[in-house]
Amino acid sequence: MNIVFTVSGTRGDVQPAVVLGSELQRRGHDVSMGVPPNLEPFSAAAGLKTRPFGYDTRAHMNSDLVRTGTRTGTLRQRAAAVAELWNYGWDQMVEETLELTDGADVVVTGVTTEQIALTVAESRGMAFATVQHAPIRRNRLFSPIPGAPDSLPSWATLATWSAYDSLLWTLTSHRENTVRRRLGLPTVRSGVPGRIESAGGVEIQAYDAALCPELEADWTAHRPFVGFLDLDPELRASIGEDIELDQDTASWIAQGPPPVYFGFGSMPVPDPESLVSTIAAACAAVGERAVISAGWNDFDVSSQPGDDVRVIGAVNHDRLFPLCRAVVHHGGAGSTAAGLRAGKPTLVCWVSSDQPFWGSRLTRLGLGASTSLRGMTTESLTAGLRTVLSHETGSTAQRFAQTMVGPRSAVERAADLVEGRVAPK
């Protein structure tokens, strides 16, 4: 089969697609990847045919539009910023999806590009699959409102989904129907979720069902759970990331008790220096050491803030997490998976997207705690650390790790689902 991936977003969005694409290519399929230009080298290093798709997401995440656009200025200015964010890169990605999928049998996409990919798939008679990293469809258990408690009654949760889906369709219906008219398709009056099933598509839930056991029975077969899609050692080595910790970091870790890991991935941190100071103070309050990974942020790794705090660059979680006592991160699905698989209690300091959900889930399951990164203080971070460093939370995390779907099983399940979209020729 000719299988094309069109994926936008950060490393956390693209990596699962690269994992799945690599498995499908291993099975003999012709796989092509469309990924953001800043992540094109990552995908190509995995041995996949790769073309740039959409905009540079790292530059976008660090732009004034993302950092401050929706939170500063007049109400009119903030509304304009929200509208710009919703439509950012849309026209470009429509054109590139049409180009990339010419002659394809299947298009595989992600959350931010489902609307484009589903429309193009319909116009060309292609099969459709999407990879989702958290529950993003209507359900009675988890609200789409960031930070909403799991304890909402089911009717209230369903009401928030109705409002959310209605708002999303209001914001995006015009642009989708414009593309549909161009492609000779009839206009539609409802959003993507209800149309994927009727089109024979599949929504691959790329996370463990054990984290959402209540949903597994509720959702039909077109939303199957497969487990977190992560790089196995062989694939990680092929892209040059299966590296040992640098000598200085390894020596520092060995010289004392296991540190607490801190890392915020691609999330923009407005004031890295202040955050490092907050982390150092909170760790001092609980008597722990800290190792801080810069990710996409401008942490100063040339000088160290103290003997008990180490600032490092990007790092292989699989190498570092087993050496840590606990992990603190932004709550991206990839970081969440790495921490859980390592059996480490987790403090989620969330910013947006699916991150509040993962923070809430880990808290509810006794695997960690959660707080908002924005406005986080030494006191709130200290309180979160006390929770995740408790014996009970640590023991629960260790037990849970034994129940998780392994990376190999997860990608095999996902690949089977993609192959199942098209009948053998």
* Domain edges within the chain: 2-54+89-228+407-419, 242-401
CATH architecture of 2-54+89-228+407-419: 3-Layer(aba) Sandwich (3.40)
178-199 pLDDT, tens digit per residue, is: 999 999 999 999 999 889 988 9
Q: Name the residue with higher pLDDT: 352 or 405.
A: 405
Confidence of residue 245 (pLDDT cuts 50, 70, 90): confident
pLDDT at position 97 = 98
pLDDT at position 303 = 60
Residue 210 to residue 228: CA distance in whole angstroms? 11
Residues 355-371, mean pLDDT to the nearest whole number:
94
49-61 pLDDT, tens digit per residue, is: 999 999 898 887 7
Q: Is residue 423 over pLDDT 60?
A: no
Residue 130 to residue 109: CA distance in whole angstroms? 5
18-32 pLDDT, tens digit per residue, is: 999 999 999 999 999
257-290 pLDDT, tens digit per residue, is: 999 999 987 776 777 888 889 999 999 999 999 9
Can 2-54+89-228+407-419 and 242-401 be said to share one CATH topology? yes
297: three-class secondary structure by DSSP: coil
Which residues 6+ apart lie within 8 Å of 26 measured at CB?
none
pLDDT at position 82 = 74
Least confident of 205-214, 247-256, 334-343, 352-361: 352-361
Buried b (16+ CB within 10 A) or exposed e, 131-160: bbbbbbbbbbebbbebebeeebeeeebbeb
pLDDT at position 375 = 82
Average pLDDT score over the chain: 90
Confidence of residue 367 (pLDDT cuts 50, 70, 90): very high
Confidence of residue 38 (pLDDT cuts 50, 70, 90): very high
Residues 137-144, mean pLDDT to the nearest whole number:
88
Can you give the pTM of this predicted structure?
A: 0.91
Confidence of residue 298 (pLDDT cuts 50, 70, 90): low
Q: Is residue 336 over pLDDT 90?
A: yes
Encoded tokens for 105: 């049998």
pLDDT at position 39 = 96
CATH topology of domain 242-401: Rossmann fold (3.40.50)
Least confident of 181-195, 298-312, 331-345: 298-312
User: Position 386: which residue type?
Assistant: R
Residue 399: count of CB within 10 angstroms of its CB: 12
Q: Name the residue with higher pLDDT: 343 or 236.
A: 343
